[in-house]
Amino acid sequence: MQRFYAARAEGYPLVKINTHRFKEIAKEELKNTYSRGFLDIFSQFFPILRKNAMESFSDPQEALEKSAAIRRDVVARLPQLLDAFENNAANNGAKVIRVKDGREANTVIVNLAKKRGIQYVTKGKSMVTEEIGLNQALQANGIDAFESDLGEFITQLLDRPPFHIVGPAMNVPVEEISDIFIQRAEMKTPTLDPVELGHAARVYLRNKFHHAGMGITGVNMAVADTGTIINVENEGNIRMSKSSPKTQVSVMTLEKVVPDMQDALHLLRVLCRSCTGQKLAAYVSMDSGPKKTNEIDGPEELFIIIVDNGRSELYKDIQSRQALQCIRCGACLNTCPVYTKIGGYPYGWAYSGPMGQVLTPLLLGFEATEDLFRACTRCGACRDVCPAGIDHPKMFQAFETRRQERKKIPGLNREEMIIEMGFVIWGWLVTRPRLWELTARLTRKALSLPALSEPLKRIDGPVKHWTHSRTLPHPASQTFREHWKALKKAEYDR
């Protein structure tokens, strides 16, 4: 299975995957005061926004439990639901194409575009197309792909990975956006006003929407019962891509399917509240097939590409399956104490934060992603807000267990051996009270020397993960026991 994943990642060499550089990039990003400042504010106000929105449910907890139950049901019945969706979508007149991996998906879409003489496409935000590197594949074949979600548009121009699954460019300073818009998006005068920057993008992309021959979108939900695909957005760029071009290609992964419209509507409510703190996003559009012949706009042909890309393989494992419950709302990112310090770049692929830490290792294998799923404090904030019922920390623990089991050389490596020895010595010491007290006193003396605190930070070896990343607390002038003794003595003297 491991080899299978490695081979898959090689299957689309055009995507930059940097998951193995997690620590390195995280260290860099921790120094980025601009992003840090943004994340500090964002992580304060966003969870409140979400919480307020959830409170518009008569029983928020029940609403979350219901959405989690729907997602569990979807995953339990995934193969049957997919077949039903495929049949019903085909009955509606859509052409449904199932592909096994990113390479095949890219080939199919590139060929669809080539056959129709398409020069450029407009794109709605779609994480799966980020996952498989569709833009790069189109570009390599001479077809321009214009990301049209404002955030995606900016990250595309800057050639940067998404910072956040919902707001991929939220952290980018306005100065930088102004510069790149002047260079590459026909903006005339520099501006630092987000509204004016947005307007410049509107003007630039409007022309693309008007004349694009193909619109490519993702899918938020695929309703099995009716064969309908649903997109959720605020900007109108997805509706544009589904209204103006003659050909629509909507790309989804297996797990987007939901049983029926009732379930879809409940998920919609929970998704929007979790994602942006809205009751409903500005636009929700539901397509059941291409336009009818007498309609003047809308796509003449609708292709729905169902991408597997390793998912049916991970579906075989009952524990890993839980990852497929995710509905990509991004709520887990906004509450994660790790994400809200380092931002999205260190995660190294399309998916960041806890949801990425769950999905990415299952898709790319544990070797290249071990730093990813170990970057967790086990606080469980992600699990508490998750509308899909995913227990992220438990998944990470399971990954770690499996990683250990899979290690080529069983037993401890040198570093782990030293740590183990340390515990043996510690155990010996604490069972000898006098010796322990003496050691503790000496250690405290040593730690309170200012000359020692800096060098301590630079200690290498097995303890460096503790000493490098945090400052040791300054020991109090008296221990509790010394203090107690003094107190008792004072009492006695009186």
Residues near another protein (CB under 8 A) are 38, 42, 92, 148-151, 154, 167-170, 172, 174, 177, 194-195, 197-199, 201-202, 205-206, 209-210, 226-228, 234-237, 239-240, 242-244, 261-262, 265, 268, 276, 278-292, 294-298
Backbone angles phi, psi at 33, to 5 degrees: -65, -30
Q: Looking at beta carbons only, is 279 or 432 nearer to another protein?
A: 279
Q: Minimal distance in Å, beta carbon 215 to another protein?
A: 12
Cβ closer to another protein: 17 or 154? 154
* Cα dist from 48 to 41, 339, 366, whole Å: 12, 17, 34
Question: What is the smallest separation between the CB atom of 156 and another protein, expressed in angstroms?
Answer: 12
Smallest gap from Cβ 8 to another protein, in A, equals 31
Please tell me the distance from the alpha carbon of residue 82 to that of residue 94, in angstroms, as a whole number.
14
What is the number of alpha carbons within 13 Å of residue 487 lying toward its C-beta?
Answer: 7
d(CA 337, CA 387) in angstroms, rounded, equals 19
Nearer to another protein, 350 or 359 (CB): 350
Q: How far apart are CA 336 and CA 442, in angstroms?
A: 38
62/295 with CB nearer another protein: 295
> Minimal distance in Å, beta carbon 178 to another protein?
10
CB of 375 to another protein, least distance (A): 24
| Closest distance of CB 198 from another protein, Å | 6
Q: Which CB atom, from 343 or from 361, has the smaller least distance to another protein? A: 343
- Report d(CA 364, CA 361) in Å as an integer: 5
The least CB distance from residue 116 to another protein, in Å, is: 15
- Output the six-digit token pair for 199: 């307007």
Closer Cβ to another protein, 14 or 158, answer by number: 158
**Residue 111 beta carbon to another protein: minimum distance, rounded to whole angstroms:** 25
Give CA–CA dist 329/270, Å, rounded.
Answer: 9
Closest CA to 279 of 268, 289, 287: 268
Residue among 137 and 201 whose Cβ is closer to another protein: 201
- In angstroms, the CA 287 to CA 265 distance is 15
Q: Whose Cβ is closer to another protein: residue 290's or residue 393's?
A: 290
Q: Please, what is the Cα angle at 366 between 218 and 348, to 5 degrees?
A: 50
Minimum CB–partner distance for residue 299 and another protein (Å)? 9
Residue with smaller CB distance to another protein, 56 or 448:
56
CB of 236 to another protein, least distance (A): 3
Count of CB atoms situated within 10 Å of the CB of 73: 15
Name which of 125 and 392 has its Cβ closer to another protein: 125
Q: How far are the Cα atoms of 1, 173, 358, 365 from residue 406, in angstroms, in the given order?
A: 12, 43, 18, 11
